[in-house]
Amino acid sequence: MDEPLLRELTPAVIGVLVRRGVDFATAEDAVQDALLQAALTWPDGQPADPKGWLVTVAWRKFLDVRRSEVSRRTREQRVEDEPPPGPAGSADDTLALFFLCAHPSLTAASAVALTLRAVGGLTTRQIAAAYLVPEATMAQRISRAKRTVGDVRFDRPGDPATVRRVLYLVFNEGYTGDVDLAAEAIRLTRQLARTAGDEETAGLLALMLLHHARRPARTAADGSLVPLTEQDRSRWDTALIAEGVAILQAALGRDRLGEFQAQAAIAALHADAPRAEETDWPQIVGWYDELLRLNGSPVVALNRAVAVGEADGAAAGLAALAAVDPAVPRHTAASAHLHEKAGDLSAAARLYADAARSASTLAERHHLTRQAARISQALRG
């Protein structure tokens, strides 16, 4: 049986049922039943139009449920409700399902879980494992999310920016256990890019591919962080980089710049440097300026200050950093790095130690503690 094909078709089939007015939870149950039937009968011969087959079977499953719920009076209605024969429609329904799962009425955590379940076709157990929560907790979260969007009608298109944000959240969860959420986010973004076809979705896909390409080099065997400048660049995945750059260039060529395209451009410039010293920092600063224009977030301003430090020297970097809100995460770490670069080692050692105390992951804390220890040792001579 063709499992990847089934996972690919699932959101579109749910989308068809939702478009026909079936509420989300019932539609998903009906499609699950249809998938079960596919698992039983497809080994004897896959239908010529798998999606049409699934839609028809899911619709019948839905009607079965509805028939038992409603009385026999409505039975005559059934013939009228039967789906029209012939191949199923376009892929727009998948897009509708993306919008539904990223609906603004959902919290970010619920939107992510629902997207993985309905669009990604992951099991509740897999999603729970990826987020290190008990399966019952995740099941509750998903069914509450389904109830929340149960009454939502699709009379107008949703916001693509929200869908992209949800997919980026999935990507940044990384991976734990048997489900690689980064790979899953890339798969879903590819799917969205095929149906939505806009520049920013292409930009998001390029950004994910470029980040993902560096993953093998980002952590050492013992799980410790390897900073960009020290990564073994021969371990970067050149095929992914080439694909990300090609997608990005096509998107940039359409001259509708957005945040994800600008971020992908920065990632592409890093990926393009054969050695850390050959990084084109002035151009990276230029892209940070664009990014700051599109989204004046203090996180972007912080990253820009670090890039300025590389392009124009530590003093310029520290001046840029002085304009950034000190409460931004990693502000202290960036300051430590720039002070070290400026030769102020005692300040750098103190700042690295401060930054280690407020680090958000153990790997980051260990990394910053090592930096503090390294400089303290240099100071002692």
Partner 1 sequence: MAKYLLLKHYRGAPTPPNDVPMDRWTPQEVEDHITYMNDFAARLEGTGEYVDSQALSPEGTFVRSDGEGRPPVTDGPFAETKDLIAGWMIIDVEDYDRALVLAGELSAAPGAGGEPIHEWLELRPFMGSAPTVTE
With contacts defined by CB under 8 A, how many residues of the chain interact with partner 1? Answer: 20
Q: Which tokens hold the place of 238?
A: 């050149």
Residue 225 Cβ, how far from partner 1 at the closest point, in Å? 12
Task: Tell me which of 44, 155, 178, 222 binds partner 1, using CB under 8 A.
Answer: 222
362 interacts with partner 1 by CB under 8 A:
yes
> Measured from the CB atom, is 228 or 378 closer to partner 1?
378
Q: How far is the CB of 332 from partner 1 (least distance, A)?
A: 13
CA distance 207 to 265: 8
235 DSSP assignment: G
> Going by C-beta distance under 8 Å and a sequence separation of 6 or more, which residues neighbour residue 135?
124, 125, 128
**Minimum distance of partner 1 from residue 370's CB (angstroms):** 5
Phi and psi torsions of 290, nearest 5°: -60, -45
Residue type, 59: W
Half-sphere exposure of 311 (CA within 13 A, CB side): 16
Residue number with CB closer to partner 1 (116 or 353): 353
Residue 279 is classified by DSSP as: -
Cα(98)–Cα(158) distance, integer angstroms: 9
Write out the DSSP string of 9-60.
Answer: HHHHHHHHHHHTT--HHHHHHHHHHHHHHHHHHGGG---SSHHHHHHHHHHH
SS3 track for 78-133: HHHHCCCCCCCCCCHHHHHHHHHHCCCCCCHHHHHHHHHHHHCCCCHHHHHHHCCC
Say whether residue 46 binds partner 1 (CB under 8 A). no
Q: Does 373 bind partner 1 (CB under 8 A)?
A: yes
Our finding on whether 207 is near partner 1 (CB under 8 A) is: no
Regarding 5 and contact with partner 1 (CB under 8 A), the answer is no
Q: Is residue 229 a contact residue for partner 1 (CB under 8 A)? A: no
Q: For partner 1, what does the binding mask look like between residues 321 and 360, x meaning CB under 8 A?
A: ----------------------------x--xx--xxxxx
Q: For residue 358, which of 381, 319, 318, 327 has the smallest C-alpha distance?
A: 327
Coil, strand, or helix at residue 258?
coil
Nearer to partner 1 among residue 124 and residue 371 (C-beta): 371
225 contributes a contact to partner 1 by CB under 8 A: no
Nearer to partner 1, 6 or 130 (CB): 130
CB of 180 to partner 1, least distance (A): 22
Q: Which is nearer to partner 1, 293 or 357 (CB)?
A: 357
Span from 63-71, 118-126, 226-234, 362-370 in contact with partner 1 (CB under 8 A)? 362-370
User: Quick check: 377 binds partner 1 (CB under 8 A)?
Assistant: yes
Query: Does residue 369 touch partner 1 according to CB under 8 A?
Result: yes
Q: Is residue 372 a contact point for partner 1 (CB under 8 A)?
A: yes
Q: Which residues bind partner 1 (CB under 8 A)?
A: 222, 224, 349, 352-353, 356-360, 362, 365-366, 369-370, 372-374, 376-377
